[in-house]
Amino acid sequence: MKKVLYLVAVTALVTSCNSSKLTPVAKNALKPIVVTQETPHDTDDPAIWINKANPSQSLIIGTDKEKETGGLYVFDLQGNIVDKVYPMDRPNNVDIAYGLMLNGKKTDIAVVTERKKDQIRIFSLPGLKPVDNGGIAVFEDSERKDPMGIALYTNPSNGKTYAIVGRKEGVSGEYMYQYELTDANGTVTAKLVRKFGNYSGKKEIEAIMVDNELGYIYYSDETAGIRKYYADPEKGNEELAFFGQKDFKRDHEGIALYKTNANQGYILISDQQSNNFVVYKREGENGNANNHKMIAKIPFSTIECDGADAVNFNFGGSFTNGIFVAMSNGKVFQYYDWNIIQHEIDKQSN
């Protein structure tokens, strides 16, 4: 019965989209397994939390961006809202890190940008207990604040955890601020460790993704391309790659990473005005880790998608080889079985 309801929801969204000015969903678009319950306002960005002790109890954390009455919503794998932090003042993007040490205990955290308060909020998982003393200010030394994008990096060599924060607008070369997150008697504090990141000046930078194992940061310079840097601040601020300039209709948006093994996998980036995701190899091309060429362009049922996340993990049920979660216009998130995405990638890249 639930799958029937989800298909009805997708059909309703597609019908609504095709009757408005929004980009129509392609007839051959991949279909989600689950469409979540609607949030009150405007979904934007999801993150996947793996419950390793009980995978079927894993959670999707998503933002509902609205001034003063927005919130951080928690969904189960069936798409039901099971928890929330409300109200928040225009929460924008969210990311998750595992094992931050707080009071001597490894703690999983969700970090969200709260735009209209110029801060980030940090909550422990799965219970969404605030561990930030009410919020941590960002971009304090700049007149250009308005934080939007967020990605977390845990350095596998030393265990340090960092938050990489983007904003509505900023100076090229210093668009991103990177903060080290540390414990102060059970409360998270943040120390600014670097400013970096080129900017085209064309629109804005929102979507940020980190590859922990390979040590890279990727972000979408909207209407321009995708930029790549080292995640470890000790390795400097050299731009390693700037790709995807000609592969998108207009806005480069949400970025998701799917790992097939320790060193290989796929980077999927929302081509927002085409309702496609453009796919690149995580490991690069021809032995060059920074040579990223489009290998597939896949139509999804998402409507003008802002944010996405993916993970390779056996959750059981319909997601034995992982899950791909993407925001869709209509106050929802959509869950996709990775197997159908992999089939499409294989078909286009072989």
Q: What is the DSSP string of 199-213?
A: --SSS-EEEEEEETT
Q: With bands split at pLDDT 50, 70 and 90, how would you rate the model's confidence at 350?
A: confident
Report pLDDT digits (tens) over 65-106. 999 999 999 999 999 999 999 999 999 999 999 999 999 999
pLDDT at 1: 40
Q: What is the pTM of this model?
A: 0.94
Report pLDDT digits (tens) over 286-326. 999 999 999 999 999 999 999 999 999 999 999 999 999 99
Domains of the chain, by residue range, sit at 2-349
Half-sphere exposure of residue 20, counting CA atoms within 13 Å on the CB side? 13
Residue 112: is its pLDDT beyond 60?
yes
Angle at 288 between CA 284 and CA 294, to 5 degrees: 30
Q: With bands split at pLDDT 50, 70 and 90, how would you rate the model's confidence at 20?
A: low
Phi-psi domain of 82 (left: phi exceeds 0; alpha: psi -120 through 50; beta: other)? alpha
Which residue in this structure is represented by tokens 């990223």?
A: 292
pLDDT at 22: 81
Residue 19: is its pLDDT beyond 70?
no
Q: What is the mean pLDDT of the chain?
A: 94
pLDDT at 147: 98
Instruction: Compute the chain's Rg from CA coordinates.
Output: 19
Measure the CA–CA gap between 100 and 108, rounded to whole angstroms: 6
CA 5 to chain centre: 26
Mean pLDDT of 189-198: 98
What does residue 333 show for φ and ψ, rounded to 5 degrees?
-120, 150
Closest by CA to 300, choosing from 310, 291, 315, is 310
Mean pLDDT of 133-152: 97
Query: What CATH number labels 2-349?
Result: 2.120.10.30
Report pLDDT digits (tens) over 204-247. 999 999 999 999 999 999 999 999 999 999 999 999 999 999 99
